[in-house]
């Protein structure tokens, strides 16, 4: 019972993220618009464009090599047409949430960017429609780690200490310290921000991709994306080890080892381009 109470307390504390001063009011406004079938692209782009800092951050991201239009998107309206509403909304969330973090979490941002790039490459290799949505799921896959670290700073230190002392994964340490891990936090955040179900499955089940029922490909692609980002040593996911690759995931995606290695060939160049940005 006490354990449950503690978990509820942690959950409430984490979800107070809604009130974070750096989360732009635009995010709540576009969440409302999303539920309105009559909302137009013009309305959404006007809300984002009103916040100059947010607008600049989103434009910087959409023009990065991750989305395949480097340096060619000059307005939020253009980004919405090319990449779709869900991608732009994911970028608003990721850039805003990571903004609250200090230099300490820069490594996690770099890992997330790498996972976005890798997830997009895997999605393209198996001809998924809208590979940009897979990139956004990759970008947001560890958002629960960031929000937990910001909302429960003491827990972050305890988790990091445990990772170092026992050489376990960040996810295992989260479970030890909090009783739940970032994938559970992702579920709460997706519900809180009313994110679409494909992103919700990608973010919530990237460590258990074969449990995904509605959008298994999304969870599976991000699972492989996370593995590849760790393999390439891009950024810092919180622990310095590979993530367990599910033995069924490559088959489920119809991905051969030859294709996986071709993706790795491609990613080597892409990571270099990203680093030069």
Partner 1 sequence: MRHIPLRLALPGMILAQPVTRPGGAMLLGMGTTLTATLIDRLAALKVDDLTVVCASDMNEDTAAMLAQKTARLEHLFRNFKQDAFMQDIKTRISQYYKQRCAETEGTTQGRQ
- Identified binder of partner 1 from the candidate list 244, 251, 269, 275, rule CB under 8 A: 244
Number of residues located near partner 1, criterion CB under 8 A: 16
Query: Which phi and psi (to 5°) does residue 205 adopt?
Result: -115, 20
Query: The tokens of 68 are what?
Result: 């395949």
Q: Toward partner 1, which CB reaches closer, 38 or 257?
A: 257
Asked if 272 interacts with partner 1 (CB under 8 A), we say no
Stretch that binds partner 1, among 3-11, 108-116, 161-169, 206-214 (CB under 8 A): 161-169
Sign of CA dihedral 165, 169, 171, 176: negative
Q: Where are the alpha helices (DSSP H) in 52-105?
A: 52-62, 76-83, 85-99
Q: Which residues contact 71 (CB under 8 A, 6 or more apart)?
A: 63
- Identified binder of partner 1 from the candidate list 241, 251, 254, 269, rule CB under 8 A: 241
Give min distance, CB of 241 to partner 1, in A: 6
Sign of CA dihedral 248, 253, 259, 261: negative
Q: Toward partner 1, which CB reaches closer, 15 or 245?
A: 245
* Distance between CA atoms of residues 69 and 271, nearest Å: 16
* Distance between CA atoms of residues 212 and 206, nearest Å: 9
Asked if 231 interacts with partner 1 (CB under 8 A), we say yes
Q: Toward partner 1, which CB reaches closer, 38 or 265?
A: 265
Q: Toward partner 1, which CB reaches closer, 16 or 262?
A: 262
Stretch that binds partner 1, among 58-66, 98-106, 114-122, 239-247 (CB under 8 A): 239-247
Query: The tokens of 266 are what?
Result: 């491609």
- Identified binder of partner 1 from the candidate list 6, 242, 272, 275, rule CB under 8 A: 242
* Distance between CA atoms of residues 26 and 45, nearest Å: 10
**Run of H or E including 183:** helix 182-192
- Identified binder of partner 1 from the candidate list 141, 145, 223, 230, rule CB under 8 A: 230
Give min distance, CB of 240 to partner 1, in A: 7
Asked if 42 interacts with partner 1 (CB under 8 A), we say no
Query: The tokens of 35 are what?
Result: 């539920």
Q: Which of residues 162-221 bind partner 1 (CB under 8 A)?
A: 167-169
Give the three-state DSSP class for 69.
Answer: coil
* Distance between CA atoms of residues 28 and 254, nearest Å: 38
Q: Which of residues 245-264 bind partner 1 (CB under 8 A)?
A: 245, 247, 257, 261, 264
Residues that bind partner 1 (CB under 8 A): 167-169, 230-231, 233, 240-242, 244-245, 247, 257, 261, 264-265
């Amino acid at each position: 019972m006490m354990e449950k109470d503690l978990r509820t307390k942690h959950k409430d504390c984490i979800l107070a993220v809604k009130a974070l001063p750096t989360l732009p009011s635009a995010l709540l406004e576009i969440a409302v618009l999303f539920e309105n079938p009559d909302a137009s692209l013009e309305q959404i782009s006007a809300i984002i464009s009103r916040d100059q800092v947010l607008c600049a951050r989103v434009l910087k991201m959409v023009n990065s090599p991750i989305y395949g239009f480097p340096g060619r998107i000059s307005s939020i309206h253009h980004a919405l047409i090319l990449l779709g509403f869900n991608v732009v909304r994911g970028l608003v969330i990721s850039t805003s949430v990571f903004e609250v973090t200090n230099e300490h979490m820069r490594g996690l941002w770099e890992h997330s960017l790498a996972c976005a790039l890798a997830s997009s490459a895997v999605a393209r290799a198996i001809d998924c429609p809208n590979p940009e949505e897979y990139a956004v799921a990759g970008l947001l896959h560890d958002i629960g780690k960031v929000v937990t670290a910001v909302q429960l700073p003491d827990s972050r230190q305890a988790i990091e200490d445990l990772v170092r002392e026992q050489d376990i994964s960040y996810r295992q340490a989260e479970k030890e310290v909090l009783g739940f891990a970032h994938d559970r936090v992702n579920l709460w955040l997706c519900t809180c921000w009313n994110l679409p179900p494909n992103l919700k499955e990608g973010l919530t089940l990237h460590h258990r991709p074969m449990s995904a029922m509605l959008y298994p490909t999304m969870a599976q692609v991000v699972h492989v994306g996370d593995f590849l980002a760790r393999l390439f040593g891009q950024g810092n996911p919180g622990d310095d080890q590979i993530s367990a690759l599910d033995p069924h995931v490559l088959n489920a995606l119809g991905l051969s080892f030859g294709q996986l290695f071709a993706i790795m060939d491609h990613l080597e160049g892409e990571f270099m381009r990203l680093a030069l940005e």
